[in-house]
């Protein structure tokens, strides 16, 4: 597989992480370097790590992984999205209580949820047999890092302008991403 194809795959894989990074930015008051770096490193790291794991798991575990990955991603993203919607519609004033959580636990959960499909891509790399896994992993990780890093800033800019509406939009986006992952894997839609 050539570099151009790998870059396109990397961009495609990074879109979920980018969207979640924008959502994290929407829930933040400001986009400081640490928050942007945390999103970039968590999402870029997992997007790079998962294809590597998938590659080494290869054919022997393919049927087990692909049978449940979409359900896991859907459940995690839907629960986080529903929680964001619940907080946005709660009656108490939450202007000083925004979900600005960049803790390891929260970021780990989001990173796993957005990178599960990268595991399946790694398996497909193993089955294809003509992919340099190290170049693929590097491109996927770096591109996801850059897009996730920028996504936080983009989210903060829009979040500061639209406050509650931005939080509602974030919850809906997470639910839609989870639903898209589920429907793609069930063969209902094909993008």
- Tell me if 137 is assigned to some domain: yes
- Tell me if 21 is assigned to some domain: yes
For 132-164, the pLDDT digits (tens) are 999 999 999 999 999 999 999 998 887 766 656
- Tell me if 110 is assigned to some domain: yes
86 or 39, greater pLDDT = 39
The total domain count for the chain is 1
Residues in the chain: 191
Q: What is the DSSP letter of 188?
A: S
Q: What is the DSSP letter of 92?
A: S
For 43-54, the pLDDT digits (tens) are 999 999 999 998
- Tell me if 191 is assigned to some domain: no
For 14-35, the pLDDT digits (tens) are 888 898 898 888 888 788 899 9
For 66-123, the pLDDT digits (tens) are 677 677 767 766 776 787 677 777 755 444 445 578 889 989 999 998 888 788 788 7
- Tell me if 109 is assigned to some domain: yes
- Tell me if 20 is assigned to some domain: yes
- Tell me if 145 is assigned to some domain: yes
Q: Give Cα 163 distance to the centre of its chain.
A: 22
Does this model's pTM top 0.85?
no
- Tell me if 50 is assigned to some domain: yes
Domain extent at residue 117: 3-90+98-186
- Residue 50's pLDDT is 94
Using the Cα atoms of residue 16, residue 20, residue 21 and residue 22 in order, give the sign of their dihedral. positive
Bin 163: left if φ > 0, else alpha if -120 < ψ < 50, else beta. left
Backbone angles phi, psi at 47, to 5 degrees: -65, -30
């Amino acid at each position: 597989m050539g570099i151009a194809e790998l870059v396109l795959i990397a961009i495609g894989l990074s879109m979920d992480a980018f969207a979640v990074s924008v959502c994290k930015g929407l829930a933040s008051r400001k986009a400081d370097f640490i928050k942007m770096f945390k999103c970039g490193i968590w999402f870029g790291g997992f997007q790079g790590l998962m294809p590597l794991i998938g590659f080494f798991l290869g054919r022997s575990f393919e049927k087990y992984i692909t049978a449940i990955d979409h359900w896991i991603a859907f459940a995690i993203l839907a629960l986080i999205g529903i929680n964001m919607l619940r907080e946005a519609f709660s009656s108490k004033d939450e202007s000083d209580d925004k979900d600005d959580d960049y803790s390891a636990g929260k970021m780990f959960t989001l990173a796993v949820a957005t990178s599960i499909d990268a595991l399946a891509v790694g398996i497909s790399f193993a089955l294809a047999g003509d992919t340099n896994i190290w170049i693929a992993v590097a491109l996927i990780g770096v591109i996801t890092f850059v897009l996730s890093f920028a996504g936080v800033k983009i989210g903060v800019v829009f979040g500061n302008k639209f406050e509650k509406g931005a939080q509602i939009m974030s919850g809906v986006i997470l639910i839609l991403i989870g639903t898209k992952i589920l429907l793609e894997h069930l063969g209902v839609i094909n993008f």
